[in-house]
Every structure is written in C-alpha cells, then in structure tokens.
Structure 1
C-alpha cells in the first residue's frame, strides 16, 4: 500500500511510475465518507513530492467509479438544528476543498478510468483529469439538485471549462444524467472502449505517460493550467522560461538525437 487509509477505503499502489488510486467502498458505490477527503489530500500531497510517481490512475472498485457524497450518511444530520447542520457542512466542505486543491496541484498526468456511475462531487475527478477513458456503462449524474443542493467539489469551477458555460448550466440546472456517448460529445470523456478492454487501454495510456520527458510534461501541464488566467504576454513569458529550462535538460539531447537518427526515444528522465 502506497498510502494506508482507514479500513482500506482508498487503495493505492505504485508500480513502474504509475500510482493507481482506487476508491474502495463498492457496497456504497464508492461514496466519500467522513475522513476520506483528508486521506485523499494526504495521498496526493505525498505523490506530488515523490518523483517516482509519473502518472496517477483513479478508478472505483466494483461496478461504479464514485457516487460522490455519502447521501445515506447525511440522514443522521437531519436531526441537527439548522445552524449546527450548516456549521457541520462548512467543516466537511473545507475538507472537500483541500482534497480538490491537492488533486488540482498535482503536476503530472492524471487518468480517470470510469466504469459505471459518477455522481455529485465525484464528477470533479473526470473533469479534472488529463485523460478520461470509460466503458459504455459510464454514466455522469449531476445529482446535487435531487437532494436540494447546488454543486460542490469544484464542479462549478471545472464543468464550464470542460463543456462550456451554457452546456454546464444545462447539465446542472436540469440535474442531467449523461451516458458515455453524450459525455464524449461534450468533452467529458476522451475515449470509450469495451468493458473487456478498459484496463489494458488505461494501462497502455499510463505507460505512455511514464515514458515521456518528465520535465517537459510537468511544464506543459502547468502552462495549460495557468493559461486560463494569464494574459498572452504572461503566457509567452512562461513558454520562454519553460523552453529555456528544458533545452538544458538531457531529455532535449535525447529527443533531438533520436529524431535525427530516426529511432524511438529513450528519455533519461523516464528510465
């Protein structure tokens, strides 16, 4: 186990540069219960500081990716006075925010391997991922409204950036259930494969990321993230700094030499 968690509710394993993170509450559709946000945030911070981690793959145990918040667990809160209930959820959402920020701060590729349902705050993960691969059972459920809530977990931030402002409003305001094909059309899913091919397809994509020039990958992801708030001038400066840093890297030597010699690259940072 890369990062132990209570009752093994989040599994993690690092093999050949790929950190597999699996939500492991299949009997509850992998819903997030109290304490899981802090565990995931801690796991992501450890991965960010660990250069052996070159790619992360998120998945869910069993038939579903994640149901998001543990709605069944919320029932016990209904007995609380309204002010106490609000205070409790402020604390819970502070943990959620820490989890989201830790995931968003990870500067290497993230793959979401999606089968079955993804709902509520769990939508944040495929929206934040760099690559989303699903089978045809994948279903994206904008469920907050069904329990009288607006979006959380960074969904209101990420969704308009992925699907566009108008489509984001439609999906949230109509509490949409989006099947895999529509999710691909919207840009939420990158690739749909047969269920029998999902694991191997994701493994191949993850391996491709581990073999890439690592400094160039990190710089590229950072630039894409900051481009949404940067001016053109600031972005051009960032590109200049990134290129200047990377040409002083052994990966640049290997890339140019392999191109001239017409052979496959073997980037030193990926060995």
Structure 2
C-alpha cells in the first residue's frame, strides 16, 4: 500500500516494513519546508502504527538527499536579518522533530543510500539505526561550503560514530568520501553493489520486521542512552528492560523455540 504524505514523501507499507521515500528527485531530494513537514508526518505515522515493525528511509531517483535546498536559501538573502534568522530557526526545529522521532521510535530505522548524501542527508543517515549504501554512493557533510554550521543532529551522532578527530575532519573540510570510507568510519554498516541495494535493504528490513519488536525498541533505548549514562544507571535500565521484555509473548516464543530446537516466530507482542 502506497500513500502520499504529501507530494514530497511517499509511504509504502508491506509485510511489516514501511518504506519512506523522499520524493523530490529533480532537486536531488533537497530539503524544503514541505519535505520537512512530510518527513516528520511520515515518521510519526510509522511510530504510531503497531503493524509497522521496521522502517526504511530512501530517496527517489538516483540520489538519497543533497541536503538543504540552496536555491531556496538564495531567495532569502535579501530578507532582513531578523526574519531570515527566524525562518531558518523554525525550519531547522521542524527538521529536528524528525530526528527525535527516529531516535525514540521503538522499532528499527534503516537508511538505504544511493547516489549523493550531503548535508542533512548525512545527518539522516547518522540518525538511522542501521544503514546500507550502494558502493558508488558519495557522502559529504558539506555545510562548511555554504558558510554554515551543521544541523540535523550530525554534531551529536558523528563524533559518537567516528571519534572526535575524524568528526572534525569531516565537518571542517567537507570533503567527499565514498561508501567504502563511510563503512570503515562507522557511518554506514555495509556498502553493497548498486544493483543489489534494494534487494539487500529489503532483506535486512524484513529480517528486522520478523524480529522481537518490543525487545528491539528497548535495545534502542539502552544503546542510545549508553554514552551519556553511568554504569550504575545503565545496569539498572538493563535490569528493568530485560524484566519487562520477559513478560512479552515474544519472550515466551523465543524460549519455547530454543528449547524445542526450532526457529522462533515472533509477532512483535
């Protein structure tokens, strides 16, 4: 089933996997206010729909996302400082709503990257729980090339993924790097051939959608909190979430299947 959130984002739901497609291919899926609004609406729908057990984020056409719409930015250069500052703060807060939804969503989010991922496109990849990319994909944080600092949570996620010195290099120089480099740095999980990207993405998302959804959600919470938590706090959180998971139907199925030496059939309950 395919639904237009608006003409900027398409939502397709099949077998527990929701695919959100950024849909401005003629503009390399560059971010504008309508796309920002549609993305957060689409992610909210995925978060709230219990039949959705994994989410894929991709771009229409040959590119993932080329960052912000620079032509739109150019049209604002003659605006007075106050209104211009207010416009960008509102736009970025709207964009950041999507990052927060992705982080708290109790189900895995997978980026599927083809072509260019630049600026906020890289921020989106970093915010996803897992990421695959075509081996000819190209990445650049790019913000420095138009004289601005990064947004989209990239200054939070990037140092955690690659370390501070590498994050400084990526952010301050804005150089392009390959999918292989992105994999080595920990920005993506795996580079695959371009011809196999869709197949490998579906295989991964389907595997996640067939998994213990509630346990995945609790695992996301634990891992996202880990780098800002004390050991004592993290141990307590682990105990609480393990105990809560042990009350689920999926736990009973997993234990029963293990004892019976068969593959478990999880229902996400």
- CA distance change for structure 1 residues 152 and 269 in 2, over 3 Å: closer, same or farther? closer
Q: Which residue of 1 aligns with 2:106?
A: 107
Question: Within 5 Å, which residues of 2 pair with 1:1-271?
Answer: 4-6=4-6, 8-269=7-268
- CA distance change for structure 1 residues 268 and 92 in 2, over 3 Å: closer, same or farther? closer
- CA distance change for structure 1 residues 186 and 50 in 2, over 3 Å: closer, same or farther? same
Structure 2 CA distance for aligned equivalents of residues 182 and 264 of structure 1: 36
- CA distance change for structure 1 residues 144 and 248 in 2, over 3 Å: closer, same or farther? same
Q: Report the Cα offset of residue 190 of structure 1.
A: 1.0
Secondary structure in 1 matching 2:19: strand
State whether residues 62 and 115 of structure 2, in contact with CA within 8 Å, keep that contact through their aligned partners in structure 1.
yes
Structure 2 CA distance for aligned equivalents of residues 189 and 136 of structure 1: 11
Q: Per-residue CA shift, 1:52-105, capped at 9, x if unaligned? A: 110100011111000111011111101112233222212222212222222222
State whether residues 144 and 150 of structure 1, in contact with CA within 8 Å, keep that contact through their aligned partners in structure 2.
yes
Structure 2 CA distance for aligned equivalents of residues 225 and 2 of structure 1: 31
Secondary structure in 1 matching 2:136: coil
Secondary structure in 2 matching 1:176: coil
Secondary structure in 1 matching 2:77: helix
Secondary structure in 2 matching 1:108: coil
Secondary structure in 1 matching 2:33: coil
Q: Report the Cα offset of residue 241 of structure 1.
A: 0.9
State whether residues 108 and 129 of structure 2, in contact with CA within 8 Å, keep that contact through their aligned partners in structure 1.
yes
Q: Report the Cα offset of residue 2 of structure 1.
A: 5.9
Structure 1 CA distance for aligned equivalents of residues 267 and 178 of structure 2: 41
Structure 1 CA distance for aligned equivalents of residues 5 and 45 of structure 2: 13
Ranges in structure 2 where 5+ consecutive residues have no aligned partner: none
Ranges in structure 1 where 5+ consecutive residues have no aligned partner: none
The alignment covers a number of residue pairs equal to: 269
- CA distance change for structure 1 residues 35 and 9 in 2, over 3 Å: closer, same or farther? closer
Structure 1 CA distance for aligned equivalents of residues 38 and 125 of structure 2: 19
Q: Per-residue CA shift, 1:180-213, capped at 9, x if unaligned? A: 1111110112111111111111111011101111
Q: Report the Cα offset of residue 50 of structure 1.
A: 1.3
State whether residues 41 and 103 of structure 1, in contact with CA within 8 Å, keep that contact through their aligned partners in structure 2.
no
Runs of at least 4 residues of structure 1 off by over 6 A?
A: none
State whether residues 97 and 153 of structure 1, in contact with CA within 8 Å, keep that contact through their aligned partners in structure 2.
yes
- TM-score w.r.t. structure 1 length? 0.95
Secondary structure in 1 matching 2:110: strand
RMSD across aligned positions (CA): 1.5
